[in-house]
Structure 1
Amino acid sequence: MDILLEVDISDSGYEFGDPKVKDVSLAIRPGKLTGLIGANGAGKSTVLKTILGIMPYAEASIRFKAGYEQYAYIPEHPVFYENLTLWEHLDLAAAVYGMGQHELELEGERLLDRFRMTEARHHLPGGFSKGMRQKMMLMIGFLSRPDIYIVDEPFIGLDPRAIKDFLSLLEEERQRGAGILMSTHVLDTAERICDDFVLISQGRIAAQGTLEEIRSTAAMPEASLFDCFDRLAD
Structure 2
Amino acid sequence: MNNSPVLQITGLSGGYSLNKPVLHDIALQVQPGEMVGLIGLNGAGKSTTMKHILGLMSPHKGDITVKGKARAEDPIGYHNALTFVPESPLLYDEMTVREHVEFTARAYGVEQKDYETRSLHLAKLFHMEDKMDTLSTHLSKGMKQKVMIMCAFVARPALYVIDEPFLGLDPLGIRSLLDFMMDLKKSGSSILLSSHILSTIENYCDRFIVLHKGKVIAQGTLEEIAATTGLQGLTLEQLFYELVQGGK
Unmatched 5+ stretches in structure 1 = none
SS at match of 2:39: strand
Q: CA deviation at 1:56?
A: 5.2
CA RMSD, 1 decimal: 1.5
Q: CA deviation at 1:168?
A: 0.9
SS at match of 2:166: coil
Give the match for residue 133 of structure 2: 122
Aligned partner letter, 1:103: D
Change (3 A) 1:66 1:201: closer
CA deviation string 1:108-160 (max 9, x = no partner): 11111111101000101111111101111110010012211110011111111
Query: Which of these residues, 135, 148, 154, is aligned with residue 146 of structure 2?
Result: 135
Aligned partner letter, 1:182: L
Query: Which of these residues, 22, 26, 42, is aligned with residue 24 of structure 1?
Result: 26
CA deviation string 1:152-206 (max 9, x = no partner): 0111111110011101110110110111100110111121111111000000011
Q: CA deviation at 1:57?
A: 5.0
- Comparing 52-61 with 191-200, which one deviates more in the overlay? 52-61
Query: Which of these residues, 95, 99, 112, is aligned with residue 84 of structure 1?
Result: 95
- Comparing 59-68 with 183-192, which one deviates more in the overlay? 59-68
Distance in 1 (CA, whole Å) between partners of 2:123 and 2:13 is 40
CA deviation string 1:4-63 (max 9, x = no partner): 121124311012111011111111111111000000111110111111111155323111
Give the match for residue 144 of structure 1: 155
Give the match for residue 39 of structure 1: 41
Give the match for residue 94 of structure 1: 105
Give the match for residue 5 of structure 2: 3
Give the match for residue 204 of structure 2: 193
Change (3 A) 1:28 1:192: same
Change (3 A) 1:23 1:155: same
Unmatched 5+ stretches in structure 2 = 70-76
Give the match for residue 59 of structure 1: 61
User: TM-score, normalized by length of structure 1?
Assistant: 0.95
The answer as to whether partners of 2:25 and 2:62 remain within 8 angstroms in 1 is no
Q: Check if 1:180 corresponds to 2:182.
A: no
Query: Which of these residues, 110, 117, 121, is aligned with residue 106 of structure 1?
Result: 117
Q: CA deviation at 1:64?
A: 2.3
Give the match for residue 206 of structure 1: 217
Distance in 1 (CA, whole Å) between partners of 2:228 and 2:236 is 12
Change (3 A) 1:53 1:9: farther
Number of positions where the alignment pairs a residue of Structure 1 with one of Structure 2: 234
User: TM-score, normalized by length of structure 2?
Assistant: 0.90
Distance in 2 (CA, whole Å) between partners of 1:167 and 1:93 is 21
SS at match of 1:192: coil
Distance in 1 (CA, whole Å) between partners of 2:235 and 2:125 is 32
Give the match for residue 229 of structure 1: 240
Distance in 1 (CA, whole Å) between partners of 2:228 and 2:47 is 24
Distance in 1 (CA, whole Å) between partners of 2:197 and 2:64 is 27
Identity of aligned residues (%): 38
SS at match of 1:35: strand
Change (3 A) 1:198 1:66: closer
Change (3 A) 1:57 1:3: closer
Runs of 4+ in 1 over 4 A off after TM superposition: 66-69
Distance in 1 (CA, whole Å) between partners of 2:125 and 2:94 is 24
